Structure 1
């Protein structure tokens, strides 16, 4: 694992993280809406979405 930094306030330079964050928000929103839960459960829904995504298999990245 390699820590890489990007320029401040330039999300276009951090596409993978931005995409993962969007996926988390979409999943959390679907969980809340699907069960009719109030928005004050938003934090729990995001935590649950992260828990689920971290346990999903992914493809190995090519060597850089």
Structure 2
């Protein structure tokens, strides 16, 4: 598994992957899902869970 390193990569993985948010956070170089959540909210205006629910309504992936 490679490190993606950017919020944009996390954004893409949230939309295209069924991988857990915690796993995406670690894969993208964040120290935790909380760290990804803060950075993601600052960059995109919503949490990773909100993003995933927007892409796949009816899923609760947090």
Mark yes or no: TM-score above 0.5: no
Larger radius of gyration: 1
RCO comparison, higher one (Cα < 8 Å, 6+): 2
